[in-house]
Structure 1
Amino acid sequence: MSTTTLLTAAAGTNVGEPWLNMLIFGLFVAVTLVIVLRASKNTKTAADYYAGGRSFSGTQNGTAIAGDYLSAASFLGIVGAIAINGYDGFLYSIGFLVAWLVALLLVAELLRNTGKFTMADVLSFRLRQRPVRIAAAIATLAVCLFYLLAQMAGAGALVSLLLGIDERLGQSIVIAIVGALMILYVLVGGMKGTTWVQIIKAILLIAGAAVMTVWVLALYGFNFSALLGDAVATAGGNEALLNPGLQYGINATTKLDFLSLGLALVLGTAGLPHVLMRFYTVPTAKEARRSVVWAIWLIGAFYLFTLVLGYGAGALIGPERIQAAPGGVNSAAPLLAFELGGSLLLGLISAVAFATILAVVAGLTITAAASFAHDVYASVLAKEKPSPEKEVKIARRTVVVIGILAILGGIGAQGQNVAFLVALAFAVAASANLPTILYSLFWRGFTTQGALWSMYGGLASALILIVFSPVMSGTETSMIPGADFALFPLKNPGLISIPLAFFLGWLGSVLDRRREDPAKQAEMEVRSLTGVGAEKAVEH
């Protein structure tokens, strides 16, 4: 039975026209490629390639940050989670949004003042360059790679759902096409082209969600209570949809699991390297702060839309039909679009979701390439001697390598638990990156040994705990369903790995007999808080 047939059975009618979806996909790709090619004419220096020439305003960068942050998991996953689990599904939205307060208050402005192109610039500012840059690059590449695998596998699943491609070979071809487009965008346009793609995608995604939200509310006379009542009725009178605890209140373990997940979501965002790199695309720290405020407004509005869309999908389609459709929970938003506006709205929402994946993988790829070329090659292997042109050339070669790895990984990850890969990315970011960033910015006693213990300890503990968690084995939804080596009861390691990383950073620094240069510490403190000297350092 084909995917289209399955989806037709789930929706109770024809799912729409695959050719229409393809046409809208093609139009988006054509428009964004023209923009990327125009941007490439002004991409000459390393600052142009890595940071878009620092030419974006706070409003533009904030919109691009929203584009980077609102991935397919945010749109497809959260709408589905609310449709199935109600209140508990919306907790994801709250966690993702609150995380931006951490980024705004503790990281954005200080990071922009202290760094140049990457997170490692900040971490190695007053610590020993070589070991810290290598550790930061490993953590960055780990986060980016797992995020890339999730997005690439998600691209295959989304297109199979919407275009009726159910063969593994067909999905593999789709993943290869997404990967090739991603390589082309980043190779040609650099950060400037990637940023414009993200701005367009953010506007389309938020506008599409807004239209669907108003449409759903209009069906219920803009009476949200009536919508909630219908969602409960469609779910067979299950009023637990409106109360906490349907997913995370079953027992003590699930409650701890939610605490762990919330900790990873709230703290992980401020450690995501592809989000942190966006702070360098603006000319000043003031614009960095403004871009985060703008991003909070856009992302906050979007997550409010998901509340209406989630309960709307629950009311108009129902949990049973959503779970029976190909893609399961992730099919809630496309099914709702088809229910509301037929083939045309489904095609538009499909294209927006596809654009979302394309923009996010482009942002992740340029971050990973910059981390290798700037932190490993230029600062460690070549001992900071290569010209900016040579460094950009290495970055472009790295883009091709990372793109090929992402394609192969995405093909291998088909049918796997994509949520596992995303959770791992957040866990690594919160465990390996954030403690080291905060200690570097706010603690004078922090040392190189503390940084290495924190980064490697946070990375290793997150990986080990996830490998031995129910996400990997022991349940029907595990990555390896037939096996059972789940020694750690929680699905997310954040509750253990994040405090452990903070502790290791403190312990490593306290036990380190080698003190760091006090003059460098003082310079970093002044620069991070005032911005004095930041612009001069950025120019060189």
Structure 2
Amino acid sequence: MSTWTISTRSAAGELPVASGEATLSTDVGSPWVNLGIFALFVVVTLYFVIRASRTTKTSADFYAGGRGFSGTQNGTAIAGDYLSAASFLGVIGAVAVYGYDGFLYAVGFLVAWLLALLLVAELMRNTGKFTMADVLSFRLRQRPVRIAAAITTLAVCVFYLLPQMAGAGGLVALLIGVDSWAGQALVIAVVGALMIVYVFIGGMKGTTFVQIIKATLLILGSAVMTIWVLALFGFNFSGLLGDAATNHPDGEAILGPGLQYGADAFTRLDFVSLGFALVLGTAALPHVLIRFYTVPTAKDARKSVVVAIALIGAFYLFTLVLGYGAAALLDHETILAAPGGQNAAAPLLAYELGGTLLLGVISAVAFATILAVVAGLTITASASFAHDVYGQVIKKGQLDEKGEMRAGKITVVVVGILAILGGIGAQGQNVAFLVALAFAIAASANLPTILYSLFWKRFTTRGALWSMYGGLISALVLIAFSPVVWGRPTSFFPEGSLDLYPLTNPGLVSIPLAFFLGWLGSVTSKVAEDPAKQAEMEIRSLTGVGAEKAVDH
């Protein structure tokens, strides 16, 4: 088994945290402890999923948890759904390597929720039933709009699922010492099978309980590590920053902007483009929007977002301390050389602080994070196809409860299998562009149509179709010809030279284009939409009048 060395620094220049240097194998700690704690999590969550399955009788139960969750419960579940492995491992690693610029990811992820609170949460809850397409097609032509919304929803879910599944395989290389292709493929298959079981048996209720447990474990684990790191520096954050700057090869540059995005004009534009995608895309992610339908009232929808903002905000403050803590306590080259690169900063810091036991807990939380997120994405994809395409388009709304649930469960299995195969196929590849695609597609194809539908009386079916398809296609094309895919050592095809679009994120172009196409399609449309339906949607979205009756019946 290959080995590598972790060099540690002492807190504030005093005695070392660990004596000298520690030579660790690639599994970092005890694989059996890591697996044992993860197995405990699986057993506990399966218990809640099986209990939830006993009360999952209707499509409202399967897709929306019977709308019986409180605002606090749903807000915690939203945090569990939103805080993916990329948030936990990626942000901490980005701060450890890039400092200030790395934390900008967390700022973008958090600020997006203000948009969701002010413009989306309550209005979506009042207007929809199960999916985003319910809102978009409310006052427009049902068939073409539902098909377009289902396509964009499935596109976001698939491109979000692939990096999560592939990430499960990559994480194993560090946590349990399985670094062969076949071993990682087996782990991806196991994670995918668990995901299918959770969603197939428990539906939204089971998925919600998994997300609540995962969010609680993730935030508590991060809080413990944060307090531990601060204690090593006498709760002196300035001292922590000073040691991080001293230990980092770029010195005090990690305390200010520019280390990752300040090299030239293109990198600065890249950050603006990434910020557009993160801030605007988050408020239009289908697996986030579907959670607004799991609460009984619009008031609970608002409370859900407030609770989610509090939990997510606290978590990202923890990542700031943990990222700079990793920069101060671990050797920079060791982080980059570890399996997973900068994503290894969080588990390496956990091992440095608390040894095998803390690493086992953190590794189990990381696995749980992946499991909860892929479950949320799968139930969303299931609802989009079974409810919007099969139930409303193919069966023209004539499908009964049992038929719709049966279609939903079949979709869960199909999506799960595709996610497993896609995750296995993406092993060893640069999957960062898949995450960028998910946010860019959501921001480009979904958000303009959502806002126009809710707030613009002249919006038409043509505008919706132009905006959704135009945003989707432009995001895909720009990513396909960007440096993320071609021409760089970290690109999907490093030897290619088709990087015609200079930025790594399409948001700067595709999002304004989608808004423009929505406007252009509407003002050039010769077919006016039903003013009565538009007025009904406006009254219902803003006041909630008539929403409960429509949802229940």
TM-score, length basis structure 1 = 0.99
* Aligned partner (choices 475, 482, 505) of residue 495 of structure 2: 482
* Aligned partner (choices 512, 527, 533) of residue 540 of structure 2: 527
Matching of residue 515 in structure 1 with residue 528 in structure 2: yes
Give the CA deviation at 1:238. 1.2
Q: Secondary structure at the match of 1:12?
A: strand
Q: Following the alignment from structure 2 to structure 1, what is the Cα–Cα distance between the partners of residues 222 and 7?
A: 25
Q: Following the alignment from structure 1 to structure 2, what is the Cα–Cα distance between the partners of residues 7 and 327?
A: 15
Deviations 1:226-250 (A, max 9, x none): 0001111111461100010111111
User: Which residue number corresponds to residue 116 of structure 1?
Assistant: 129
Give the CA deviation at 1:83. 0.3
Give the CA deviation at 1:166. 0.9
Q: Secondary structure at the match of 1:492?
A: coil
Q: Following the alignment from structure 1 to structure 2, what is the Cα–Cα distance between the partners of residues 8 and 191?
A: 42
**Which residue identity does 2:192 align to in structure 1?**
G
RMSD (Å) for aligned C-alpha atoms: 1.1
The aligned runs of 1:181-196 (5 Å cut-off) are 181-196=194-209
* Aligned partner (choices 12, 16, 26) of residue 22 of structure 2: 12
Unaligned runs of 5+ in 2: 9-20
Q: Following the alignment from structure 1 to structure 2, what is the Cα–Cα distance between the partners of residues 113 and 344?
A: 46
User: Which residue number corresponds to residue 63 of structure 2?
Assistant: 50
Matching of residue 427 in structure 1 with residue 440 in structure 2: yes
**Which residue identity does 1:304 align to in structure 2?**
L
Deviations 1:454-493 (A, max 9, x none): 0000000000000000000011110111111000000000
Give the CA deviation at 1:6. 4.3
Give the CA deviation at 1:417. 1.6
* Aligned partner (choices 501, 506, 513) of residue 493 of structure 1: 506
User: Which residue number corresponds to residue 471 of structure 2?
Assistant: 458
Q: Following the alignment from structure 2 to structure 1, what is the Cα–Cα distance between the partners of residues 4 and 380?
A: 38
* Aligned partner (choices 404, 417, 423) of residue 391 of structure 1: 404
Give the CA deviation at 1:419. 1.7
**Which residue identity does 2:22 align to in structure 1?**
G
* Aligned partner (choices 362, 373, 381) of residue 360 of structure 1: 373
Q: Following the alignment from structure 2 to structure 1, what is the Cα–Cα distance between the partners of residues 33 and 467?
A: 50
**Which residue identity does 2:279 align to in structure 1?**
V
Q: Following the alignment from structure 1 to structure 2, what is the Cα–Cα distance between the partners of residues 501 and 243?
A: 34
Give the CA deviation at 1:422. 0.8
User: Which residue number corresponds to residue 278 of structure 1?
Assistant: 291
Q: Secondary structure at the match of 1:182?
A: helix
Quick one: structure 1 residues 452 and 517, their matched pair in 2 at CA, closer, same or farther if it must change by over 3 Å?
Answer: same
Give the CA deviation at 1:13. 2.7
Q: Following the alignment from structure 1 to structure 2, what is the Cα–Cα distance between the partners of residues 239 and 417?
A: 30
* Aligned partner (choices 518, 527, 530) of residue 505 of structure 1: 518
Give the CA deviation at 1:296. 0.2
User: Which residue number corresponds to residue 326 of structure 1?
Assistant: 339
Judge conservation of contact 1:64–1:199 (CA < 8 Å) in 2: yes
Matching of residue 446 in structure 1 with residue 459 in structure 2: yes
The aligned runs of 1:126-275 (5 Å cut-off) are 126-236=139-249, 238-275=251-288
Q: Following the alignment from structure 1 to structure 2, what is the Cα–Cα distance between the partners of residues 7 and 31?
A: 36
Judge conservation of contact 1:6–1:326 (CA < 8 Å) in 2: no
Q: Secondary structure at the match of 2:319?
A: helix
Q: Following the alignment from structure 2 to structure 1, what is the Cα–Cα distance between the partners of residues 128 and 501?
A: 38
Judge conservation of contact 2:109–2:279 (CA < 8 Å) in 1: yes
Q: Which runs of 4+ in 1 moved over 3 A?
A: 6-12
**Which residue identity does 1:165 align to in structure 2?**
V
Give the CA deviation at 1:100. 0.2
Judge conservation of contact 1:7–1:326 (CA < 8 Å) in 2: no
Matching of residue 106 in structure 1 with residue 119 in structure 2: yes
Q: Following the alignment from structure 1 to structure 2, what is the Cα–Cα distance between the partners of residues 51 and 139?
A: 20
Q: Following the alignment from structure 2 to structure 1, what is the Cα–Cα distance between the partners of residues 131 and 413?
A: 19
**Which residue identity does 1:249 align to in structure 2?**
G
Q: Secondary structure at the match of 2:487?
A: coil
Deviations 1:178-203 (A, max 9, x none): 00000000000000000000000000
User: Which residue number corresponds to residue 471 of structure 1?
Assistant: 484
Deviations 1:338-368 (A, max 9, x none): 0000000000000000000000000000000
* Aligned partner (choices 69, 93, 105) of residue 92 of structure 1: 105
Q: Following the alignment from structure 1 to structure 2, what is the Cα–Cα distance between the partners of residues 206 and 509?
A: 45
User: Which residue number corresponds to residue 339 of structure 1?
Assistant: 352
Matching of residue 381 in structure 1 with residue 391 in structure 2: no
The number of residues matched between the two structures is 538
Q: Following the alignment from structure 2 to structure 1, what is the Cα–Cα distance between the partners of residues 551 and 194?
A: 31
User: Which residue number corresponds to residue 16 of structure 2?
Assistant: none
User: Which residue number corresponds to residue 308 of structure 2?
Assistant: 295
Deviations 1:238-265 (A, max 9, x none): 1100010111111000000000000100
Q: Following the alignment from structure 2 to structure 1, what is the Cα–Cα distance between the partners of residues 250 and 339?
A: 25
Give the CA deviation at 1:418. 2.4
Q: Following the alignment from structure 1 to structure 2, what is the Cα–Cα distance between the partners of residues 452 and 416?
A: 33
Judge conservation of contact 2:7–2:330 (CA < 8 Å) in 1: no
Which segment is superposed worse, 14-23 or 455-464?
A: 14-23
Q: Following the alignment from structure 2 to structure 1, what is the Cα–Cα distance between the partners of residues 141 and 5?
A: 56
Q: Following the alignment from structure 1 to structure 2, what is the Cα–Cα distance between the partners of residues 289 and 388?
A: 29
**Which residue identity does 1:325 align to in structure 2?**
A
Give the CA deviation at 1:9. 9.2
TM-score, length basis structure 2 = 0.96
Quick one: structure 1 residues 42 and 208, their matched pair in 2 at CA, closer, same or farther if it must change by over 3 Å?
Answer: same
Q: Following the alignment from structure 2 to structure 1, what is the Cα–Cα distance between the partners of residues 85 and 52?
A: 25
Q: Secondary structure at the match of 2:283?
A: helix
**Which residue identity does 2:413 align to in structure 1?**
V
User: Which residue number corresponds to residue 41 of structure 1?
Assistant: 54
Identity %: 75
* Aligned partner (choices 418, 427, 437) of residue 414 of structure 1: 427
Give the CA deviation at 1:12. 3.2
Deviations 1:296-349 (A, max 9, x none): 000000000000000000000132110011110100000000000000000000
Quick one: structure 1 residues 124 and 353, their matched pair in 2 at CA, closer, same or farther if it must change by over 3 Å?
Answer: same
**Which residue identity does 1:503 align to in structure 2?**
F
Judge conservation of contact 1:231–1:318 (CA < 8 Å) in 2: no
